[in-house]
Amino acid sequence: METEKSNSVQGFRCIETRFSDKCTAGHTLFYKEHAVRNSHPSKPVGKTLFVLNVPPYFKEKSIQELFSVAGKVMSVCFEEKPSGTKEMINQKSFFFQNHVKGFKVAYVVYNNASSLKEAMKLEWGTIVISTEEKPIKTGLEKWILEYEKSFVNPKALQEEIDRYMEEFDKRKEREEKEEKLKEGQPDDDGWITVTKHSKHAARTETMEKKVMEKEKQKQKDKKLINFYSFQMRETKMEHLTQLRRKFEDDKKRIATMRAARKFKPY
C-alpha cells in the first residue's frame, strides 16, 4: 500500500483509491458523518457515514472491508442520490437486489458511535480495491458471471419471495402503527395530522365540507359570469348609442358647413 497525505474538502474526508496495481488513474472517495435533522432510524445519527463518488465497480463488501478498519460495520447501502430521511433497505438477497448503475452514494452504519469517530480520524494511503487475493470481476468476465447467475433455482426463489414478503408485511405493519400513534395528536403548531387510518366520521365531515366549498365556488363563478355578460351587453348598447349620437352631430355640422360655403352676392 502506497502512503499519501490525506486531506479534507469542505468537511469531507478524502480517500484515494485505484482499481488495481496496474491502474495509474484512480478515484477519490469523500465521506463525512451523516448528520441530518430528520434522519431515518435505519441511518442513525452518530453511527452512520455518508460516502460520495463511489465508482460503479465498488461492491457493498468493498465498502464494508474498507471502513471496517475503524470498527465493526453493521450494514452498507448504495443509493443513486442522497436520501437521508428515507429508510435504508439493505437487501442481501440475490433475487431482490436493487443494483445502482454508475456512480453512487453509500451509507455505512457502525455498531458503535466510537467507530464513527475513529473513522473520521483515520489517515489513509492509496487503497487498491481489486487484488490477486480478492479480485473484482469486470468487463467480459463480469458479464459471463452475471449470465450464469441469471438461471434461477425455483425453490431458492420461492424461499426468497416468502422471506421478502414477510419483511414487507412487518414493515407495513410498523408504518401503520406509527401512523395510528400520530392520529389525533397535535404538533407544535397545534395542527392535527389526518391519515388514511382516521375515523370514518371525521373523513365524511371533511369530504362534506370540501363538497360544500366547491358548490359555493361554482355558484359564485356562475353569478360572476352572468354579471359580466350583462355588463358586456350594456356596454355595447351604450357604445352604439354614442356612435349614433355622434353620427347625427356630424351630419348637422356638415350641413352647416355646406350652407356657409354657398355664394351670396346680396
Domains of the chain, earliest start first: 8-140 (3.30.70.330), 205-258 (no CATH)
pLDDT bucket at 202, cuts 50 / 70 / 90: very low
Q: How many angstroms separate the CA atoms of 153 and 95, rounded? A: 10
Tell me the C-alpha distance between 134 and 230, whole Å.
Answer: 85
Mean pLDDT of 157-170: 88
Specify whether the CB–CB gap between 70 and 110 falls below 8 A: yes
Q: Please say if the pLDDT value at position 110 is more than 90.
A: yes
pTM higher than 0.75: no
Of 146, 114, 135, 145, nearest in space to 61 by CA: 135
pLDDT tier for residue 169 given thresholds of 50, 70 and 90: very high
User: What's the rounded mean pLDDT across residues 108-114?
Assistant: 92
The highest-confidence range among 130-144, 234-248, 252-266, by mean pLDDT, is 234-248
Highest mean pLDDT among 28-42, 162-176, 210-224: 162-176
pLDDT band at 3 (very low <50, low <70, confident <90, very high): very low
- For the cut 50, the answer to whether the pLDDT of residue 263 exceeds it is yes
> Mean pLDDT of all residues in the chain?
78
Tell me which of 46-55, 65-74, 254-263 is least confident.
254-263
Write out pLDDT tens, residues 209-229.
Answer: 777 888 888 777 766 655 666
Greatest pairwise CA separation for the chain in angstroms: 133
The pLDDT, as a whole number, for residue 1 is 37
Residue 5's pLDDT is what?
Answer: 45
Question: What are the tens digits of pLDDT across the range 225-246?
Answer: 556 666 777 878 888 899 999 9
Interval 49-78 mean pLDDT? 89
Is pLDDT above 50 for 201? no
